[in-house]
Amino acid sequence: MKDDKPTSFDIAFKAGVSQATVSRALRDSPLVSKETREKVKAVALELNYKVDKNARNLRSQKTRTIALLLCEDPGTGDSLINPFFLSMLGSITRAAAKRGYDVLISFQQLSSDWHADYEDANRADGIIFLGYGDYHSYSLKAEKLVTENAHFITWGPVVSGQPGYSIGCDNFSGGYEAGKHLLKLGHHRVAFLGGVSSEHSPEFHQRYLGFTKAFNEVGLDVDPDLQVEADSDDDDGYRAIAHLAEKGLAYDAVFGASDLIAMGAIKALENQGRHVPKDVAVIGFDDIPAASYINPSLTTIQQNTTVAGELLVENLLKLIEGESIESMLLPATLIVRDSCGENLKAQ
């Protein structure tokens, strides 16, 4: 029986290009112009051509799969996954699907050997890291990936001398905007809840530096006693507020280095009989979905997860194709809600 299924040679003949050009166009190779890619795809659609993924992968020695490694984040509930990264998951999978890639999601405990080479095991063509735990420990493992010429990219800080490439939020400007907003509302005694070690918590460190810059610009110092170490979870935010109460320190606002920390702080303040925002203003960082639903709704600094997911996939695929990329920072945006008393002052 004759096989009437169209082939790439049929497309090449009708489109007036070579079969090699058809193959490149159907996998969105940058070696083929956009006009030619669109023409080839239109002919393929007209002929009802279906790509044989198994055959293509055997020829290219590629899996057409991205590994998405989520790092254990203690204290964020039974899932142990920060909800901020769950927000980014959808945009990553959509961006990969648009480009014909599947996503292999793996949950990596901090104690596990997550830097095992996915590419040598033919499980994925490249890796996206979401979360890294302690940055110093992560860097040591990432350096091993660099020596193995692995294709990987991280959502995280952009720092000098880092291994591999990162896409992250402009944490310094985000902290600066948070500080300016609190100052505008008349708050001068602000507690910062979050780690400030540049080696272990570079993102929180940059948020703290931006926050202090806003105060220094108006001739004010940030009280170091009002900085309390906290990991990115609500329990730590709760404990940080309890610590301030034990020390008897006065403050009129709280800047949580993450939304989870800020939410834990709100709960602790309410349990102490203090009203948010009337007695204490609270601002967070991330803009996770829950931030707009708690009471009071949380004023925060937004990291755009939709743009972030798209750029992580786009740049990882460039690495896989042998193209050069650069680490980059995305802008942070102030999202005004109720927890700093903005609406209260307007009434």
Q: Taking the model in full, what pTM does it have? A: 0.78
Give the Cα separation of 194 and 228 in Å (integer): 6
Q: Look at residue 15 and tell me whether its pLDDT is greater than 80.
A: yes
- Taking only the tens place, the pLDDT of each residue in 141-194 is 788 778 778 889 999 888 888 888 999 999 999 999 999 999 999 999 999 999
pLDDT of residue 61: 60
- 101 pLDDT higher than 80: yes
pLDDT digits (tens, 9 = 90+) for 267-299: 999 999 999 999 999 999 999 999 999 999 999
- Residue 53 has what pLDDT? 54
Burial 60-77 (b: 16+ CB within 10 A, else e): eebbbbbbbbbbbbebbe
Helix and strand totals (H; E) in the chain = 12, 12
Q: What is the pLDDT of residue 347?
A: 41
At residue 34, the pLDDT reads 87
Residue-level pLDDT at 344: 55
Distance CA 145, CA 163 (A): 9
Q: What is the pLDDT of residue 27?
A: 73
**Confidence at residue 116, expressed as pLDDT on a 0 to 100 scale:** 52
The answer to whether the beta carbons of residues 242 and 176 sit under 8 Å apart is no
**8-51 and 171-303+334-346: identical CATH topology:** no
- pLDDT for 209 beyond 50: yes
Of the candidates 205, 181, 196, which has an alpha carbon nearest to the alpha carbon of residue 281?
181
Instruction: Output the CATH code of domain 171-303+334-346.
Output: 3.40.50.2300
Q: What was the pLDDT predicted at 243?
A: 97
Residue among 191, 190, 184, 89 at smallest CA distance from 130: 89
DSSP 162-220: -SSEEEEE-HHHHHHHHHHHHHHTT--SEEEES---TTT-HHHHHHHHHHHHHHHHTT-
Residues 6+ apart with CB under 8 A from 229: 194, 195, 196, 240
CA 288 – CA 274 distance, rounded (Å) = 24
Crossing angle of helices 8-15 and 34-46, in 10° steps, is 120
* Summary mean pLDDT of the chain: 86
Residue 346 has pLDDT above 60, yes or no: no
Report, as an integer, the average pLDDT of 316-328.
93
- Does 3.30.70.330 match the CATH number of domain 65-169+304-329? no
User: How confident is the model over 117-131, as pLDDT tens digits?
Assistant: 455 445 788 899 887
The answer to which of 51-65, 67-81, 141-155, 216-230 has the lowest mean pLDDT is 51-65
Show Cβ contacts of residue 102 under 8 Å, excluding neighbours closer than 6 positions.
64, 65, 66, 96
Question: Could you give the CA distance from residue 60 to residue 56 in angstroms, rounded to a whole number?
Answer: 6
CATH number belonging to domain 8-51? 1.10.260.40
Report the pLDDT value the prediction gives residue 59, as an integer from 0 to 100: 45
pLDDT (tens digit per residue) in 21-44: 887 788 777 777 889 989 988 998
Annotated domain spans of the chain: 8-51, 65-169+304-329, 171-303+334-346
Q: In one letter, which amino acid is 269?
A: L
Residue 112 has pLDDT above 60, yes or no: no
Closest CA to 255 of 216, 224, 285: 285
Per-residue confidence band for 72, with pLDDT thresholds at 50, 70 and 90:
low
